[in-house]
């Protein structure tokens, strides 16, 4: 089943490049991926952290290198997120006039690469699948983007390439820190080694900082964030949905899956640095977001800001905080994908997404106004949506972190800053909603037609998932918590 989730988009992309009908093939692959991911979730045994749906073939026995797919609750939640966002992204894609086959192939390669990274239990393929998605991202922004698309495409490529290079150094350093007789690429074996504390505390600080900077750049951790807002503002709708909603979560997933269990002392050593950087995400980027006057840029900065909350949960090094971070990864992926999807619908009707050029859209397009309001409320953490439950867990986990007592006060200061970030989120999101959807529509806006029929389905799908996980967060936490309990180090 995992092979279907990972390989169907990749095979479909190759078929599209060879001349298969682009949209039909991409849509069929997205449906298969989403349905199989949901079937895996329905048939998964949640009684423990065990890995299921195992599939592997040996590549190099002397290095214990193999193509190895498996899913525990944490990776399965990420695969469901990938399937839902991919399906929505393909569904909302407008008619592509220029090189449609290449466009859809790029979208499918991003989806397949993300799914492969989440499902891979071999460190080499974990890294390689993510790299598969970088070139398609460059092409989607550079060829089909808007505004300063070429500058944005080069900027995101340079930043992510450098981040991947630093990440590679960190993974190599981690590999070499393991005693020679125990070295392996098998992440399940590495998880077992983590429980044995095979890496001395003194040897953990250097590989962890490399991993933090590498993963952090891919995640848009402050101050390595400047590639993200412009790239998302210039990207075509499905590229923004997939990258902000799914691919960015690779770095967060990697910190939880690889860095925390294997390098717990390193994580604790660099806690103060991470707290300073994540507060930069929440407060500094939050204030920058307030200053934006264009919807696409505002959402790009908003996405960067919300990474600070997830980092706060991960930094807490306890089950509550990391579980909240994992749930927020899922919630943020759905909410930002829905917001970018509806931004794309507005872009199809208007040459400008500046607040001053819009207004009264809610009267002309009542469905879009209501749906955008739901996604906006989810983004700012309104109760009833998954973001609220996840941020609550993050704050509780960070207020009593599993770190040295000397660091507890710093975590509480960061938590208070995070709570002020919620206020900042409400300010910029509600102000944007008022400027775009409230008031009397202009003559141009009054002629716009609302989203109707099947075009509403992808947005409703994402909002429904947000509300299910919001009203019943245990539907996701039941998968996540056992895995987090097995991964979170026992440190104090």
pLDDT (tens digit per residue) in 380-413: 989 999 999 999 999 999 998 877 777 888 889 9
Q: Examine the pLDDT at 203 and tell me if it is beyond 50.
A: yes
Q: Examine the pLDDT at 59 and tell me if it is beyond 70.
A: no
- Distance between CA atoms of residues 446 and 440, nearest Å: 9
Q: Tell me the pLDDT tens digit for each residue of 347-359.
A: 988 888 888 888 8
- Distance between CA atoms of residues 13 and 15, nearest Å: 5
- Distance between CA atoms of residues 46 and 129, nearest Å: 27
Q: What one-character-per-residue DSSP string does 82-122 give?
A: HHHHHHHHHHH-----S-HHHHHHHHHHHHHHHHHHHHB-B
Average pLDDT over residues 232-259: 91
Q: What is the DSSP letter of 439?
A: S
Q: Examine the pLDDT at 491 and tell me if it is beyond 60.
A: no
* pLDDT averaged over every residue in the chain: 89
Beta bridge partner(s), residue 134: none
Average pLDDT over residues 454-472: 93
Q: Tell me the pLDDT tens digit for each residue of 135-166.
A: 899 899 999 888 888 888 899 889 999 999 99
| pLDDT the model gives residue 492 | 44
| pLDDT the model gives residue 58 | 63
- Distance between CA atoms of residues 116 and 142, nearest Å: 24
CB 65 within 8 A of CB 46: no
């Amino acid at each position: 089943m995992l092979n279907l989730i990972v390989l169907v988009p990749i095979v479909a992309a190759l078929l599209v490049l060879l001349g298969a009908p682009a949209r039909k093939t991409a849509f069929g692959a997205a449906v298969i991926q989403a349905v199989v991911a949901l079937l895996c979730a329905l048939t998964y045994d949640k009684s423990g952290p065990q890995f299921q749906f195992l599939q592997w073939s040996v590549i190099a026995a002397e290095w214990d290198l193999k193509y190895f797919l498996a899913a525990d609750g944490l990776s399965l939640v990420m695969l469901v997120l990938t399937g839902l966002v991919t399906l929505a992204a393909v569904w909302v894609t407008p008619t592509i006039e220029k090189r449609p086959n290449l466009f859809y192939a790029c979208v499918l390669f991003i989806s397949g690469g993300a799914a492969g990274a989440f499902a891979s239990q071999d460190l080499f393929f974990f890294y390689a699948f993510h790299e598969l998605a970088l070139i398609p991202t460059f092409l989607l922004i550079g060829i089909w983007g808007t505004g300063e698309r070429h500058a944005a495409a080069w900027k995101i490529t340079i930043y992510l390439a450098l981040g991947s290079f630093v990440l590679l150094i960190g993974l190599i350093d981690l590999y070499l820190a393991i005693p020679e007789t125990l070295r392996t690429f098998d992440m399940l074996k590495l998880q077992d080694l983590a429980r044995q504390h095979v890496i001395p505390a003194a040897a953990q600080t250097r590989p962890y900082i490399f991993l933090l900077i590498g993963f952090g750049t891919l995640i848009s951790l402050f101050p390595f964030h400047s590639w993200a807002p412009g790239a998302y503002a210039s990207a075509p709708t499905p590229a923004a949905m997939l990258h902000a909603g799914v691919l960015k979560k690779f770095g967060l997933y990697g910190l939880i899956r690889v860095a925390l269990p294997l390098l717990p002392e390193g994580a604790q050593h660099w806690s103060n640095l991470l707290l300073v950087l994540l507060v930069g995400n929440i407060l500094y980027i939050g204030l920058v977001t307030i200053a934006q006057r264009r919807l696409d840029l505002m959402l790009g900065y908003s996405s960067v800001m919300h990474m600070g909350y997830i980092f706060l949960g991960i930094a807490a090094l306890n089950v509550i905080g990391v579980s909240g971070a994992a749930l927020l990864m899922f919630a943020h992926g759905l909410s930002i994908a829905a917001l970018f999807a509806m931004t794309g619908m507005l872009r199809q009707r208007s040459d400008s997404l500046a607040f001053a050029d819009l207004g009264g859209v809610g009267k002309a397009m009542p469905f879009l106004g209501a749906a955008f309001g739901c996604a906006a409320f989810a983004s700012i953490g309104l109760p009833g949506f998954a973001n609220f439950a996840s941020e609550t867990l993050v704050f509780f986990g960070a207020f009593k972190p599993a770190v040295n007592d000397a660091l507890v006060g710093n975590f509480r200061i960061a938590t208070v800053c995070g709570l002020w970030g919620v206020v900042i989120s409400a300010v910029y999101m509600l102000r944007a909603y008022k400027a775009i959807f409230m008031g009397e529509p202009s003559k141009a806006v009054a002629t716009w037609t609302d989203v109707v029929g099947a075009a509403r389905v992808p947005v409703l799908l994402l909002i429904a998932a947000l509300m299910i996980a919001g009203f019943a967060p245990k539907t996701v936490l039941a998968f996540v918590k056992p895995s987090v309990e097995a991964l979170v180090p026992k440190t104090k």
